[in-house]
Homo-oligomer: A and B are copies of this chain.
Amino acid sequence: MTDITLIEAAARRMQGHVRRTPLLHAPLLDRLAGRRIMVKAECLQITGSFKARGGWSAVSALTPDARARGVIAFSSGNHAQGVAYAAAKHGAPCVILMPSDAPKVKIDNTRAYGAEVVLYDRATEDRDAIGARLSQARGLTLIKPYDDAQVIAGQGTVGLEIAEQAAEAAITTAEVLVCCGGGGLSSGTALALAARAPGLRVRTCEPVGFDDMARSLASGQRERNAAASGSICDAILTPSPGELTFPILSRLAGPGAVVSDDQALQAMALAFTHLRIVLEPGGAVALAAALFGDDLPDTVIAVASGGNVAPEVFGEALRRFG
């Protein structure tokens, strides 16, 4: 089970391989929002998202034997790159199963990190069956995107850094807004903050229509989304909260926030203008909640979780909101 000890151990294993990302802020953005917004810029993380942390944590925790046989992951993108990067640096073979309609930049990058990419058709093929066949034949260890104690521990290092950086900025009380898919980043961050900065509370942030976590936190049980796709926030569309992540968030997180796709695009444009960082829609959801949400305190910390975005999508954000 993930706890602060596991998170701190993951942080030690990552040293020198995964970046301590900066906590940015911009006076003009604060003026616009009417509150102080600190942005944890995980888009500047190696591989362009926080997923490098979970990937590193999981691969580095394997036995030498398991590492030599290799790892496998199912992912449409950021998790794939995180695992591929970590595997390559550990000399571990790596297979990534990706839907054939995943963004081309993410497929290319995953291959460039040295992984073997196996594409499947979302409509006609069974991802889990293909994965099980490959894993058995080659003895690969499956690295799940969020329901894995070491992955949650890796993502939790974001929370450790926020605790330190908030203390440096003399912030003792704040809401920490986190982009949420299956809840790996949110739950790891919540665990780290509960142990190291108890005045900072996590709130999950999701796109409209894919607010399974917000509804689950409200009802007290794991709810499912009606649809599997239909938001531009592709990086954080998951059917329901994780088995491991939900109990953690149920205990530690405040009510979930929900934003529209247009608010995510507008947050991308404002991050471009005022912070000079590149965010993908799913990585801008927490900043959108920080900018446009109600019922927030004077200081919020928004985790900008990723920046792997197609130029056309970014161009749209700039044309409409830049």
What is the interface of chain A, defined by CB distance below 8 A to chain B? Answer: 19, 21-22, 24, 26-28, 31, 41, 43-44, 46, 48, 85, 105, 109, 112-113, 269, 272-273, 275-279, 307-308, 311, 314-315, 318-319, 322
Contact in complex: A43, B276 (CB < 8 Å): yes
A2 nearest CB across to chain B (Å): 27
Nearest to A306 among chain B residues (CB) is B276
A19 nearest CB across to chain B (Å): 7
> A311: which of B43, B113, B322 is its contact (CB, 8 Å)?
B322
Assembly CA distance A26 to B44 (angstroms): 10
Assembly CA distance A85 to B28 (angstroms): 11
18 A-B pairs with C-beta separation under 8 A? A22-B44, A26-B46, A27-B85, A27-B112, A28-B113, A31-B112, A43-B276, A44-B44, A44-B277, A105-B273, A272-B278, A272-B314, A276-B278, A276-B308, A277-B277, A277-B278, A278-B278, A311-B319
Copies in the complex: 2
Contact in complex: A276, B276 (CB < 8 Å): no
Q: Which residues of B have CB within 8 Å of A21?
A: 22
A-B pairs with lowest CB-CB distance, top 7:
A311-B322, A276-B307, A276-B278, A311-B318, A43-B276, A28-B112, A315-B315
Q: Using A19-B22, A22-B44, A311-B319 as known contacts, say yes or no to A113 and B272 having CB atoms under 8 A apart.
A: no
> Which of A44, A85, A276 gathers most chain B CB within 10 Å?
A276
